[in-house]
Amino acid sequence: MTEILPGTQIPSRNLVDTQADLYIDNFRKIMRSARLNSQYPDGRALAEHAGVFSSQVHRGLYKGLEIDERTGLPTYKEWTRAQTDITLAAKQIVSLGSRSAMVTKAAQHPDSAHSRNLARYDYYTEINGTQMAPLGSMNVVVRRVDRDRRLAHFHVVLDKLDASGVFVRYSIDLAQQGDAAVASVDGRDLASQSDNFHALIYQFTSLDAEFMFVKLASMAGLQVERVIKGTVGPFFLDWMQAPAGLEISPDGFVATFGLDMAAVDVEATRNNDPLAPATDEKTRATYAQVASKLGYRVFKDRKFVCPHAMVANVRAFAETRGTRNVVYGV
């Protein structure tokens, strides 16, 4: 396919028929088994959103499912397709009209626009009101306001399907002194987030929690307490390039869920993520200096979900990387 800018085309593979349905079944099982808390992207919403991709739901209206080869997750195009259909469902059901008339016409004209419209009607009816995983949204909530010190404490949550292809949730606790860098607070202590702050967080989602902590702490008037980055993905499938030492059995998968935390209340800096990118010593030393001054510590972790038969392999892989991780079997 033509590239608008060199290097921007996402490598993808199209799963069709039973392959696509098997993928969705596994995806939903994985999300149920992963036991994600509020620091991760909403697992239930992701599972529901992905359910729209099942051929039993879309009744053959779409051909296959495009998977991002970097992450093993459906591509942005697919998530947007489901989001569009869920958003339009109620309106389209009304415009399609009476189902009983469609049933009669579809019986008279199998394999025609009438049968497609009937399938579409049933599809829209089934997905209407389905919970969606946010592809890019930020919520700022005021935790408390100290009017004497002109200090407002916020809890910020940004959910995003990141450009790297994984789902990210950034949860940030910080205090803002004076001007509205993060958000403005009205008389009822409701926060109205600033565009600049939204853009700032949005742009840095591919970077780690520590960078986000330092970046925010360097902004005048902000006191950062905690930055947590929870990720869903990558999922390594049997046809994908897995990290060295991690073997994926035929028809198997290894789903990963990262947690990266920089906070003043973390007891000790520790890296328990076997997939965390290596940091060179110089950068590490620089970060250590900054961490010491700003008083935060970093904790990185990752949990895994894979078929029962692969659990031992995944644990062994973690051990070779010097970590001990939670591995759930499905």
Partner 1 sequence: MVYKSEFLEQTVTYSGDAISVRSLEELIGGERLRQNEQVDELTRMHQRNSDLQSALVQEMDRLRQLSQELQKSRQGQRNKLADMFTWLPWVKSSATTRRSIEDLLRRQFEMSSMRLREAADFADRLDASKIDLYDEIDRLNRKIIESAHNEETAAARVLELRDAKVEVEGELLLAEPSTSHERELSAKLDRIRRLLAEHTTKLKLYSTAEDRLAALKKNTRQLVETIAHLQSDITRYVTAASEKLDLVAGQIQAIGAAADAANVVLELKQSLDAMTESLNLTTQFVVETQAYFRDNVDTMIDDLDLYDEETELALSRNLAFNESFDELDVEHALTSALASQIDALEEFDDEVEFHIPEEVKST
| Choice from 28, 29, 59, 105 touching partner 1 (CB under 8 A) | 105
CA distances from 126 to 88, 188, 241, 323 (A): 12, 39, 36, 43
Determine, following the binding rule CB under 8 A, whether residue 100 of this chain makes contact with partner 1. no
Between 215 and 297, whose beta carbon lies closer to partner 1?
215
20 within 8 A of 64, measured Cβ to Cβ: yes
Q: Strand 297-306 to strand 253-263: parallel, antiparallel, or no bridges (unpaired)?
A: antiparallel
Q: 199, 309, 312, 316: which one contacts partner 1 (CB under 8 A)?
A: 199
- Considering only CA atoms, give the Rg of the chain: 23
The binder of partner 1 chosen from 116, 155, 270, 297 (CB under 8 A): 116
Residue count of the chain: 330
Are the C-beta atoms of 236 and 325 separated by less than 8 Å?
no
Report the nearest approach of partner 1 to the CB of residue 253 (Å): 23
Find the shortest distance in angstroms from Cβ 287 to partner 1.
Answer: 6
Looking at the Cβ atoms of 69 and 238, the one nearer to partner 1 is 69
The answer to whether the beta carbons of residues 143 and 190 sit under 8 Å apart is no
Residue whose CB is less far from partner 1, 56 or 289: 289
Q: List C-alpha distances in Å: 182 to 139, 200, 237.
A: 11, 10, 40
Q: Hey, what are 22's tokens?
A: 């098997």
Site for partner 1 in 219-278 (CB under 8 A): none
Q: Name the residue nearer to partner 1 (CB basis): 163 or 312.
A: 163
Binding site for partner 1 (CB under 8 A): 1-10, 12, 75-77, 80-81, 83-85, 87-88, 92, 95-96, 105, 108-109, 112-114, 116-117, 120, 135-136, 161-163, 165, 195-196, 198-199, 202-204, 206-207, 211, 214-215, 218, 282-283, 286-287, 289-290, 293-294
